[in-house]
Amino acid sequence: MMRIAILTALLFLLARAPAAEAPITLEGFALPQPGRRFVFPRDHGSHPEFKIEWWYVTGHLAAEDGRRFGYQATFFRRAADRPGGVQIYLAHMALLDVKTGRFLHQERLNREGWDAGASATTLDVRCGPWSLRLTQPDVLQLAGSVRGEALFEFELRPVQPLVVFGKDGVSRKGAEAGAASHYLTFPRLATRGTLTVAGEKLRVQGESWMDHEMSSSQLAADQVGWDWACLQLRDGRSVMVYRMRRADGTADPFSTLAWVQPDGTVRHAGAGDFTLTPLAKWRSPQSGAEYPSGMELGALDPATGQRVRWRIVPLARDQELTGCITGLAYWEGACRVLDEQGAEIGSAFLELTGYAGDLRRDLR
């Protein structure tokens, strides 16, 4: 009886004890924690308790006449000082006309207010006239433009389940506790709508990829940038890979490759299980930065058990966003995926950061 009384008292005290507080940064921002239970549509929205957040959409489209396009639409939210303080919104739009090789891009920067903001209850983010909204449980609407030379309105519908990358809901980018994010992705979104370019209104359709990350620091102290790619293979699988680059040129051990099956099942591979090797070099005439021009991905394909070497080849060499407002340039471009025999087996987007400036002042 005494043991039962003691146990009952302990349970009563535990029930009354305050819950342990989640770790935060010195500035008071939240850090991603394992085991977080995501609730939608709320978690498609903004998370101002984290310092940094982005919604990232890239895609490949074709017009009825066969013309091919690549596009990017990105919305960033960053706290200016402290949790609950001023929020800054930065947005990028870009369009590649594959036939002509012409690459258009634009950047907007606004404080939170009448011309910029994001809902905390659902996906509804805007920066100036650009917006990304969840209008139905399975329908996203994207509206954007590029310097008055291109205008688009797209409808995006998931055709592959939402996935959460990382271990137990946390995508690690480095050994430091803060170098991590919650990383949510729609690997395949059927996309259709209208694109007006060079005064011509086109009906287009294709496939997009959407990332949503929330973090309070994406980089460890010794990291200078990353090489990231998303692949949509013709066999129905998708691949996400990132190599975090250290200042000494080596890859961080927390670099990751993720295989996504058509049913949304994810299989992660560590830094020692893949290689990401530049195919060539390209120097930007705008920023002067030298970027890899395409990448070779080497990895063990879990579908066959065989090692593959796939080339991620840009559809145009110059797809650099020059950072006209922020001063931080990076390369983000539409690519095709070729197997070892040179056959096209999928589409991809490749992102190369930290080659034209130090990201650590903005992402730490």
What are the sequence ranges of the domains in the chain? 41-363
Kindly state the average pLDDT of the residues 250-256. Answer: 95
pLDDT beyond 80 at 218: no
Query: What is the rounded average pLDDT for all residues in the chain?
Result: 91
Rounded to whole angstroms, the Cα distance separating 55 from 82 reads 21
Q: Do 255 and 271 meet the contact criterion of CB atoms below 8 Å apart?
A: yes
Separation CA 284–CA 250 (nearest Å): 23
Name the pTM for this structure.
0.91
Please say whether the beta carbons of 149 and 143 come within 8 A.
no
Could you give the C-alpha distances from 60 to 30, 47, 70, 230, 276, in angstroms and in order?
Answer: 35, 29, 5, 12, 22
Please give the angle made by the CA atoms of 54, 58 and 62, to the nearest 5 degrees: 160
Question: CA–CA separation, 88 vs 106, rounded Å?
Answer: 17
Q: At 231, is the pLDDT very low, low, confident or very high (cuts 50, 70, 90)?
A: very high
Homologous superfamily of domain range 41-363: AttH-like domain (2.40.370.10)
pLDDT for 141 beyond 70:
yes
d(CA 333, CA 205) in angstroms, rounded, equals 18
Q: Assess whether pLDDT exceeds 50 at residue 10.
A: no
Is the CB of residue 359 less than 8 Å from the CB of residue 219?
A: yes
Percentage above 70 pLDDT, the chain: 92
Residue 323 clears pLDDT 80, i.e. is over it: yes
Phi, psi (deg, nearest 5) at residue 148: 75, 0
List beta partners, residue 350.
Answer: 229, 333
